[in-house]
Amino acid sequence: MISRYTRPAMGKIWEDENKFRIWLEIELLASEAQAELGVVPKDAVRVMREKASFNVSRIDEIEREVKHDVIAFLTNVGEYVGPEARFMHLGMTSSDVLDTCLAVQMKQSGELLLDDLKKLAEVLARRAKEFKYTIMVGRTHGIHAEPTTFGLKLALWYDETRRNIARLQSAIERISVGQISGAVGTFEHLSPKVEEHVCEKLGLKPAPVSTQILQRDRHAEFMSVLAVTGSSLEKFATEIRHLQKTEVLEAEEYFSKGQKGSSAMPHKRNPITCERVAGLSRVLRGNALAAMENVSLWHERDITHSSVERVVIPDSCILLDYMMSIMTDVLDTLLVYPDNMMKNLERTHGLIFSQSVLLALTKKEMKREDAYRVVQAAAMEVWQSGKSFRELLLANEEILHVLNRAQIEELFDLKKSIRNVDYIFDRVGLA
């Protein structure tokens, strides 16, 4: 991933230095287990621990000749260890190292992403409470529907973020498995105790069964969760982008001092961060699809998944980490305009209370078809003339035959329309 979208902590997880460090630890732990089993001399393991090291540039140099990354790594480590290096990698295959390492890296990344999600949830919870009773119009199909509050919108996002936290926790558990089981997963040339020892020390569980590789449904699940989380971020971002439209302007990204919105038009304040999040979420979804394509491999293994994963897994982890960071900042500093929310709510001259009128008429025993007809007729006149919906109702004899003026006036109580906000917040856990 390009440096523009890479935060340091996540980037380090996917650097070659970290990868080879994990490879080395896997090899040393496996050798330790072999020594306990009497397969490898304990003195040799002591020498390995003391001398084992690697050089990334040297590994790359060797790989250019041997065309095999694990062999290049082992060759370079052997240059540091000396003769005792012959006891490394006994009975193991490359995938034992590669897949177990990848599991560690994905676990490390997942735990960082989990922290990101929790920070996002904290911001959403705080701002939801801040705007709990800030009334705005709710929109369906992009058209004004009925009143809601901005706090409820944020509470919805908070609840979705909690689901993403639960999904990621589950995906981390599913991917936190290792294998040291040999060429086709049968432990033909090494004891299962080696796998148990390595996995325990790395914070993993042994895969109950594997072939030469860990099965890629695990990776596909993890990547799908990242894509779903990215889609949630895109959803939040898309809503903010709409609310920032000039003719809406109910909320907008913070615009810092010295920031420029356009190279041509000095007046512009654009939702560039939300647009960036919306765009990058497409990459996550594409990568998730590639991970699903990796599930079906030939027999006990092929390597069609390998080249794909070198790109999509690091990129998705790095991207989502970046996306959550900037989206959390957007929500933390989001500018909210309650006065504009109220102005927009009043633009339809009271039409947002049409259902309240419809229900009041039907409760007074007017047939629903008749009630719908008379309310819709008044509503259509408001759309065309811009007249007050309330005034048209108060002048309608058919409606006045069922409801008196006081009953009609009561239907236009904004506070009554959001009376269940406290109940919803309590149910979401934001009381």
What amino acid positions are annotated as catalytic residues?
141, 262
Per DSSP, the three-state class of 93 is: coil
Burial 209-224 (b: 16+ CB within 10 A, else e): ebbbbbbbebbbbbbb
**Taking each helix axis from N to C terminus, what angle separates 16-36 and 94-130, rounded to the nearest 10 degrees?**
120
How far is Cα 429 from Cα 412, in angstroms, rounded to an integer? Answer: 30
Written as six digits, the tokens of 270 are 């654009």
Q: How far is residue 261's CA from residue 200's CA, in Å, rounded to a whole number?
A: 52
- 425, two tokens: 């917040």
**Cβ neighbourhood burial of 164 (10 Å; 0-12, 13-18, 19+):** buried
Listed in sequence order, the DSSP H helices in 266-404 are 272-293, 304-333, 338-345, 354-363, 368-385, 389-394, 397-400
| Torsion 381-382-386-389 (CA) sign | positive
Angle between helix axes 192-202 and 94-130 (nearest 10 degrees) is 30
Give the SS3 label for residue 294: coil
Cβ-contact 205, 199 below 8 angstroms:
yes
Q: Which two tokens stand for residue 119?
A: 């920070």
Rama region for 143: left / alpha / beta (φ>0; ψ in -120 to 50; rest): beta
- Name the residue type at position 170: S
Structural contact between residues 223 and 288, judged by C-beta atoms closer than 8 angstroms: yes
Q: Are 244 and 271 in contact (CB under 8 A)?
A: yes
Closest Cα partner for 349 from 381, 327, 320, 309? 381
Strand 177-178 relative to strand 205-206, pairing:
parallel
